[in-house]
Structure 1
Amino acid sequence: MAIDSSIFHAGTRALRVNPGAAGYDWRMLSVPSPSSTFWVRLYVRSSVDLGQSDHNAYFQAMTGDGEPNTGDNMEVAEQYCQIVLNLHDDVTLSTGGETRCGSNGVKLPKDQWHCMEAYFDGAKGGVQVYANGTKIIDKTGVKTLNYKTFSFGYLGFHGPARTMWYDDVAVAPERIGCAP
């Protein structure tokens, strides 16, 4: 990871997550969540489309302390050529998607900034995910989880390799919203 002053959404810098190794690749930063129910807002950009065929993750709410193999991780990820929600390989598809590529699930184009928002309701077992102001995932009745940490960056399981950028990341008890 590095601070990048050549590509950024606002201000003068963004966090660049450089391509990693093939196979399992954990490159994430973790911060404490304000409670088990919280909102996040982050601007994300990738050198490949977000929504590849195989499982990789961009950010997640965690019951552990940020160590990837401790506790439960509710991932905002990709699989089946779309953005998905993934908890222990139990996948919730984005709006319009099916468990196959070409099924009209939500993808986000490469080389553009996208405002992503997520509401993690650990107390009630719900998750909502928004992309550029549009709700793309609305899941209720998921396992009740006591979230303690929010992580963002890149968690690669299958690739392809990519560079990702994050800017204007915020974690709060209330919805923050996207700047115009």
Structure 2
Amino acid sequence: MLSVLLGCGGSDEPDTDLPGTGPGESKCGANGVLLCDGFEQASVGGAPDPATWQVQVFNQLGSISIDSSQAHSGTKSVHVVGTGTESYRSVLFTTTQPFPPQNNSFYTRVFLRAKLPMAEGHSTYFGAGSADNQRMVRIGFHQHVFETNLIHPDKEYEQLSGPWGQPSQGVQLQPNEWHCVETFFNGAQHELRVWLDGTEMTGLHVTNWNVGLSKWSPQYAKAWFGFETYHGEQAELWYDDLIIGTQPIGCGG
């Protein structure tokens, strides 16, 4: 995976010098915000700011570009398309700064819009992990519901937002609507928490992956967003108003 980013300060007022700052991003200057991008300064049809993000498209099976047809706030978002029929595809935009976070813990908040419903196969929307990719935590879907999984050396652990094979009892992302997804990667206490539109998905509150695993958190060195599939799923997604910080961010602003 891939490359770089900015930090933003802790003043009480929005910092209009922050890359990507646009209308509706009132939290960019809040205390604890380390990264804030609404993609307003990027050019339509081009990639997200290369001074902030590095793009990876595995075997050219998909695309990432700035789009003006959809936006949560302002006029632009990042449009991610995963194409092809191969079982594995990766279309990501990744940052390494402002990592490593203090106490190996941080929050992310992103507004996400999907054209298609969550499918049966296992796929990822975003995640975070170690510099060598040997340890990572990924948030996406499996069996038509939100899911998270841990890649640990030689092993993989999964936790669904509901019972296996019972989508109606899990948490689903509704297509063609903007949704706020916030995540706490609590590496200091080996914990993961995820919220959808301000409500915690309790099935994804992970401490030991239901197997008594301890001290499992990666040493977080980067976070990434986009689409990665392991079962040939298709995707068309939009990302906007993305924040990484040291404190809870919430869905307002």
TM-score (normalizing by structure 1): 0.90
* Distance in 1, Cα, partners of 2:68 & 2:232: 26
Aligned to 1:31: 95
Q: Contact 1:62 / 1:73 at 8 angstroms: preserved in 2?
A: yes
Shift of 1:126: 0.3
Q: Contact 1:126 / 1:139 at 8 angstroms: preserved in 2?
A: yes
User: What is the identity, as a one-letter code, of the residue corresponding to 2:184?
Assistant: Y
Aligned to 1:166: 239
Tell me whether 1:98 sits opposite 2:138 in the alignment: no
Tell me whether 1:77 sits opposite 2:140 in the alignment: yes
- Number of aligned residue pairs: give it: 173
Shift of 1:20: 2.2
Shift of 1:34: 4.9
Q: Contact 2:100 / 2:220 at 8 angstroms: preserved in 1?
A: no
Identity among equivalent pairs (%): 29
Higher strand share: 1
* Distance in 1, Cα, partners of 2:90 & 2:250: 28
Shift of 1:174: 1.2
Q: Contact 2:123 / 2:233 at 8 angstroms: preserved in 1?
A: no
Tell me whether 1:149 sits opposite 2:217 in the alignment: no
Shift of 1:170: 0.8
Find the partner of 2:180 among 110, 115, 129.
Answer: 115
* Distance in 1, Cα, partners of 2:178 & 2:247: 23
Aligned to 1:178: 251
Larger radius of gyration: 2
Change in 2 beyond 3 A, CA 1:34/1:113: farther
Higher helix share: 2
Q: Quick one: higher RCO (CA 8 Å, sep 6+), 1 or 2?
A: 1
Q: Contact 2:65 / 2:79 at 8 angstroms: preserved in 1?
A: yes
Aligned to 1:18: 81
User: What is the identity, as a one-letter code, of the residue corresponding to 1:90?
Assistant: Y
User: What is the DSSP-based 3-state SS (H/G/I as helix, E as strand, rest coil) of the residue aligned with 2:126?
Assistant: strand
* Distance in 2, Cα, partners of 1:167 & 1:110: 16
* Distance in 1, Cα, partners of 2:141 & 2:232: 10
* Distance in 1, Cα, partners of 2:252 & 2:95: 22
5+ residue gaps, structure 1, are none
Tell me whether 1:2 sits opposite 2:70 in the alignment: no
Residues 116-139 of structure 1: per-residue CA shift (max 9 Å, x gap) = 000001121100000001101211
C-alpha RMSD of the superposition: 1.6
Shift of 1:103: 5.0
Shift of 1:37: 0.5
